[in-house]
Homo-oligomer: A and B are copies of this chain.
Amino acid sequence: MNTLAAPNTFAGGGLDRHSETRRDASWVAAQWARPGARVLTMRGGDPAMDGGRLALAPVNLAPLPESEAPGPAPGGQNGMPLFLGFDATGPVFAVEARENGPGAFADLRSVAGALTPAEASMAATARALFGWHARHGFCPSCGASTSVTDAGWKRSCPSCGADHFPRTDPVVIMLALHGERCLLGRNASWPEGRYSALAGFLEPGESVEDACARELKEESGLTAMRVRYHSSQPWPLSPLGGQLMIGLFAEVGDDRAQADGTELSDVRWLTRKDASAALAGTHPEVTAPPAMAIAHQLIRAWLEE
């Protein structure tokens, strides 16, 4: 699965982000002032909705950005509108609503699967960026309060001069394969019967393949013999911050898998028939991850191989 038309939720939105041009504040201001400019309001990481679609309000109906309120809020996003990019219609910005502000907001996890790729991409980007701002108000190099620049895509430290860019953590997520079976695992904290692909954060000094082999060994005791990339997915829903899910198949040398007892409370080999039933929701014991999760797409792709 190596095309641009990935089935992964949040991927393939096709926004034109103007990553270079958005550094120019006067260009950004001109986009904000365009008649067709629209704005997405987010609250606590969830998007404003209108009739099942993302509510993209004309900028002239949008609440005034808080940057017009006196003084920047130290450590916050400063209320500056975030430039998301151009969709097929024109420029789109995002702003954050106050915690108890009015509006109809929907849990992004619940609605993402029903959004268009462009909508899902906008909401994912806004959630990842606002979450990063909320956790990165201070300069990690010197401890001073930083301020937002580059239309929401950078924080600058007025004290030591350091620039800080949004953080995205790479995560490897792998479907271990042995013969005609795939391995799923479950965390004790998950709802009963829920199983998914094994996963973990990539660490400094590791390639994708290294991280896959390490996580597989740590969590299940299995040795990866061959790692194949399948696809990737931006994942804005973790409370730890924005992640890049890197979806892999890992062929392993034997089937002696054992849950580590810390990350995983159980691991389980599924035949193609079992996996198919789990995806369809008809397996008596195993619930597969939902279609919006890349783990679901990995299982589906393996079944279709």
Contact = CB atoms under 8 A, between A and B. Distances in A.
A211 to B, nearest CB: 9
A209 B244 CA distance: 11
Contact of A141 (B121, B137, B144, B214): B137
Range class of the A interface residue count: 35 or more
A258 interface: no
A136 B164 CA distance: 11
A246 interface: yes
| Identical copies of this chain, number | 2
A210 interface: yes
Interface core residue of A167, A244, A263 (most chain B CB under 10 Å): A244
A244 B270 CA distance: 32
A116 interface: no
A234 to B, nearest CB: 5
A143 B144 contact: yes
Given A170-B168, A226-B3, A229-B229, A205 B140 contact: no
Interface in A213-260: 213-214, 218, 224-229, 231-234, 236, 242, 244, 246, 260
B12 A210 contact: yes
A22 to B, nearest CB: 11
Interface string A2-17: 1110101011110001
A41 interface: no
A262 interface: yes
Contacts of A19: 200, 203, 214, 218
Nearest to A213: B4
B17 A214 contact: yes
Interface stretch (A28-36, A65-73, A122-130, A184-192): A122-130
A2 B231 contact: no
25 contacts: A3-B209, A4-B225, A11-B207, A20-B263, A121-B210, A122-B205, A135-B140, A135-B141, A135-B162, A136-B140, A136-B141, A137-B141, A138-B140, A140-B164, A143-B143, A143-B145, A153-B203, A166-B203, A168-B169, A168-B203, A168-B204, A202-B244, A207-B233, A209-B232, A210-B234
For the complex of A and B, list the 7 residue pairs with the smallest distance between their C-beta atoms, beginning with the closest: A125-B205, A128-B204, A138-B143, A11-B207, A229-B229, A208-B232, A136-B140
